[in-house]
Amino acid sequence: MTIRRGVALWLATLLVLFPFEGSAQNPPPELGIMILEGRNAMVDETHSVEIVVRVTQPGARVLFELMPGAGVALPGNLVRVAVVSDANGIARSGAMYSVGKGGDFEVEVEASLNGKTVMTFVHASNRTGNPDKTVKTVKHKSNKMLWIAIIGGGGGAAAALAMMKNGGSSPPSGSPTVTATFGSPTAGPPQ
């Protein structure tokens, strides 16, 4: 009996020093969903959107479901698509595309594994045929011609005043002459 006690004591010591790495000590992480792509996305006549999520556990069944009235469809013109998350937990909805006018909408994303289910919503917008999708421009009258007239008139008035000051005579010798020419600019040697 002393041998049995010695063996039992020795096994108990081994179990304390080197615990068994079973699944009871390292439970899998809680099932969860993280949205990677598609949040606040915009779908219209030329843009489609794919929702990409990461599920905390690979192999989960992931359901993407469009809410009624979204005016968009999933691949195959469907409103509901189920996929399985890959080895990294990634699941993709496939490209959502516009099938009519809509507005803001939600996509329900549901992940299920081993009897547990989690759900989240992804907000997006369908801007097909929607007037707010473009920036409204307000036409305004250009003041370009007004400024040209003011500058030209000011230059003419300055020239008239200068002539009146000199009595209409030519400038005194030794003072520089300034010539302003309007038209296309040219470059080249002096002429």
Question: pLDDT tens string for the chain (191 positions)?
Answer: 577 777 666 666 666 666 655 545 666 678 999 999 999 999 888 889 999 999 999 999 999 999 888 889 999 999 999 999 999 999 999 999 998 887 899 999 999 999 999 999 999 998 887 545 443 334 445 566 665 666 666 666 666 566 666 655 555 555 555 555 555 555 666 66
Structure tokens given for 47:
């843009």
Cα distances from 45 to residues 3, 102, 122, in angstroms, run: 83, 12, 20
Joined tokens for residue 24: 């009871």
Residue range 28-133, CATH number: 2.60.40.2910
55 class by beta-carbon count within 10 Å (0-12 exposed, 13-18 middle, 19+ buried): buried
Alpha-carbon distance 115 to 125, whole Å?
Answer: 32
Domain segments of the chain as ranges: 28-133
pLDDT at residue number 3:
77
pTM, 2 dp = 0.55
User: According to the model, what pLDDT value does residue 106 have?
Assistant: 92
As to burial, measured by CB atoms within 10 angstroms (0-12 exposed, 13-18 middle, 19+ buried), residue 90 is middle
